[in-house]
Structure 1
Amino acid sequence: MQIDSHPKQFAELFPVETTKGFIIPEYQRRYSWKNEQIEQLFNDIWEEDEGYYIGNLLVTNDPEDKDRPDVIDGQQRLITTSLLLLGIWNKLEIMWRQLSALSGEAQSSDEEQTLNVSKDIKKIGKIQDYILHRLYIFDKDDEPVTPRITPLKEDRDYYNALLSQITDNPQKVSGNRVFNNRYRHICELFNDEEKFPDVSSVDQFYHKLLSTTILQISVTELSDAFSVFSSLNAKGLPLTLVDLLKGQFIGEASRKGIDKSETLEDWDEFVGIFTAKDEDVNVSIVTQFLLNNYDVFESTGTKSITKGKALRLYETVIQDEYRRGSNYLDTLLSRAELFAMITRVDGHHHADGRIDRQLDALKRLDSTQAIPLLLSLFADQKTFGLTNDHVSQILDILIDFYVRRNITLVPKSSNTRSRMLGLVRELTSLAGPRGKAAVNLIASTLKEISSSDSVFLEALKSEGLYDKNAKTARYVLIALERGLTGTSSFDKGHPDNLDELGDNGKPIWTIEHILPEGENLPKWWREMISPDDPDPETAASIQEQYVHLLGNLTLTPYNSEFKQKPFVNAEDSYEDGMESYDKSKRDYRVNGHFVGMRHPFRLNASIPDTANGETIETKTSWTPQDIQRRTEFLANEVVKLFAFPEDVTE
């Protein structure tokens, strides 16, 4: 096996000159990063020092085309960083228009301001030209010919159309919602006026992006690539923050006369909290704990430390603790147990079942920014004068906040964490609120930074819920099923199992799109949603607009069987009394039980237009008007379910 590996700066992967580029081979999956992953990479680049390591890039080299290797691992990060470049170009374009208007004001007589504006305009032009050359391969006449990245066929047209906006020949392509949403989110990140008030701040981020380090690993054979890929994913990289801190603990303890074996035993107990039986240490979650532990208990500010700075900061803490005769590993042990409970590491639970279920809910809602607050609450619960009832009220408030945040995307993740740390500082101050006053402080702060009910409602009614955050969509649907009025389909003989996992470790109940997802809609669906023009392209455009809306979603344990079946099958219809039937979504029946749209869910009661006399048995169509009607109803119910509480009185 011939392997060649070199750390490279991002600028080397997207050089201004040469014909170097990357091809995403057909056996790869499509681009699938979510907003949260993009935002994490963005924040890492923003917060860390230049040269920050962002991961591996595994490629195979074609001897006949060495400048265009196939990407085996790293596609998601590679495409995302190219979209970050495009986002920088777009932000600078907005600034260019603003500065051009400013420079054109005839009444301006400030020579220094005029000179500065002129310099900024020239800087923008230079950076934009570099970005164009980094994203495109140019011909001998210095014309952009093709993007440096060639995505999968299914992604290519839309990716190329996005990039073409910075050329003289912009294209318009519809139909790929993922790329559109992800790029729009990137543009929103750059529209943060606090981070990017001027051209210099954008230029600073641009150069930090160019300086990021990627380990490019090249192999000659595809079989070798998969062996390396498996090894990288199984073993990870050496000398992580966790490894280095282990050495720091051993060294400092030894200098204080503590036996090395004793320190190793304490360390193993500490990392063992995050380690499954017969598995290697989960470096990622230990690192998360260490960063959160420092932010909550060792820092006094509201800005999070970064992985790059954590080692130096922890060195000082460890030295000070051992100097005072304190075994800092013992301190970490107790806090790590709480962190494992909060992040739902297997085997770590809260004694109060109600609180344990709420922590499960927060985990499903991707509430990582709230970890500092939760860690502080559980570590200092008595000091804060909080009963378990108080804690449960706080967790309910956090659930309300995160449902709203995940649907409206307000506030941004970085701002959320900063406010959570701010709450920690207020609670831990000597004059901090206690008991119900602490609960009210948290409630009022989260309500203040959250979207209003009207904004929340509008997002639920007009924007796709599933494609924005599938986990939150599932959580909301389950909450609706439990919270809507009507007779429940669950009873003592059939207990509620909406949160349970199957033998495969995946949820038993999953989201079903009534109007189905997927390309190439069958004729029956095209005619139903676009009767006046059932052309595939027209129907696909309508499908894209409505398919992920709240009103098109329900829950089922038979998602994989439904696929693109018709709502009702007119040619091979269900007949009363049939034990099993699988020809339509409405009448799907297994062993005598309806499991499709006629399953007696409270959620499904809103599928027929009951105000106009429809019942589920008589409903034979599912149209965009139905989706809008049901979305309106369910959206209002969601706002009620996740409304912030009034002041706590007990």
Structure 2
Amino acid sequence: MRVEPEYAAVGKFFGRDPMYRIPKYQRSYAWENHEVQDFIKDLTNCYEKRRLGPGNEINHFFGGIVSVERKVTGVVHQHEYELVDGQQRFATFILFIASVISVYEEMLEEAKNNGDTTNEKIIENRISKLSERFIQFDQEVNRNTFTIDVLELSKSDKAFFSNLIKRNNPTPSRDSHHRLISAFDQILAKIKSLYATHSITDRLDNLEEFQKIIDNDFTLIHIITYDEKEAYKLFQVLNDRGKSLTEGDLLRAKTLELLEGFSTQQNLVENLWDDILIDTSKITDDHLRWIYASHYGTRAGSTTLFDDYMSRFFPQHNQIIAVTDAQVILSTIQQLKEEFEISRKISIGIWPYSSSSRSIVQWDKNRLDLLIRELGFKVTLPILLSSYHLGESKFSEIVQILEKFLFRYKTVCNQHIEAVVTIFHSHSVRMRLNPATYNIDDLKNELRIILNARANDTVFKSSLDTLAYKEGGGNKPTKYFLMALEHYKRWYDNGAAGTPTCLDKTRIYDFSSTTIEHVYPRNAHGTVQNVNLEPLKNQLENLTFMGPSDNILGSNDDFATKKPIFLASSVSLNIDIGNLSQWTTTELSTRKEALKNMGCAIFVV
């Protein structure tokens, strides 16, 4: 491979009409706050040394960048450079200069308002020169003039970055956009804090020091290559200042490399990856792992996600790619994008179907939110991704099976989850293999077996004692249990025949706006205080919940005062309490047993 390294100050690489492009296989802007702060620390150090006077300047080496050089058609002696390694640094250099220009523009307004024509011309000249070197310039191509951006980021960041450095206040739409804004704001704030003095002349001198830093003090090695295929290989082993490539970045780069020579498929895949990789690397990694387990019934390796995906999803990487292979790769990534869209919704408890059948109402949809967000069972994502393909009714049924099973098995009885995950993964594959013939009863039977073995009625009843009120938080399971009993209470009171069913789905209690209430007050004082009930006040049998429309005034009053409040409640559990004549240890004991019996009848599969 032919390479030509050049060591020089950063400013040397932004000379006459510089053109840097981020190739399509590159990731988006990835520097987080700590990396931007490192850059600012280096900048500040160089600036403070310069302020000490001539001879105190220091050099800061930013490492090596690698690019592929290409001639620009129709322009004499013009080249553009595809940055294989160095995007993060080059983008940050330009954000730095854009920040300097932004300060100059503020000073320009000040000079105009003060009638300071001398400094006005100086500032305008500096803005023009910096903009042409680092932001954009006019280029003549075959007798036509075009405005060219000095640095173009990859497609997902290109327009946003261009508008940001031109101070057009673009609206962010992905995680990398927020990182770009954050970097710009932090650098701008630091420049303003360093250069500020009262005199406009002194400020002009101080700002000029920043240009000298990039033209003299910041240095790097630019390694120029001339081979596109070698560039792909270099990309997969090089990192920007220690910023490791994510699994998604590597998959993007490798699949685009495989499609080199198939421009139609490659361009479509580039767009698909832009849509797939809009989240943080951690969230993207989670989605990739859930999707992998959903397809193959096993977790991807903790350090081999990229290799596992290439082996399973893109086996074509081990052969010479033909047009049919290119089309298969495109189809696979189209499917992956669709899976990501579904996974994004399910993983935050949003119902994944755009339109619903009449049999599915808001109550059914809320069960997914409870399973994922309130109970926190993201371990169900692989099987939920697979069950999505069974259709909405079966998906809803499986959500409710998992919700009741996992609350009983894991939340209350605290049994090990691994055996259950194995079942989930196995059924994930079976659902995908033949959605039309998949039988949900098979899943229910396996879950019943494990419940009988590890979370039977005796274990469940005993474990329900852990659902006590906890000061300072951690009461979601208790609130969920009480709300679930309320939803199924009418079915239970009617004889509890057959499968537990909510008979009144029009009553929907928003989880976040309902509150746990103590029947005997949590903070009883004076004559209300009862020495026999004090030890039991935070236990399950003394707890209920109130909906947002219920009157909770009088929560610290005695039972006689609270009876009318319970009787007027929208919650039937509360009406039962209100119908009692007194609230003693006897009533508490009776209610405790009743709640446990109801729980055993409802939390089954």
Please classify the TM superposition score into its range, dividing by the shorter chain length: 0.3 to 0.5
User: What TM-score results when the alignment is normalised by the length of structure 1?
Assistant: 0.44
Q: Which structure has the bigger radius of gyration? A: 2
> Which structure carries more helix by proportion?
2
User: What TM-score results when the alignment is normalised by the length of structure 2?
Assistant: 0.47
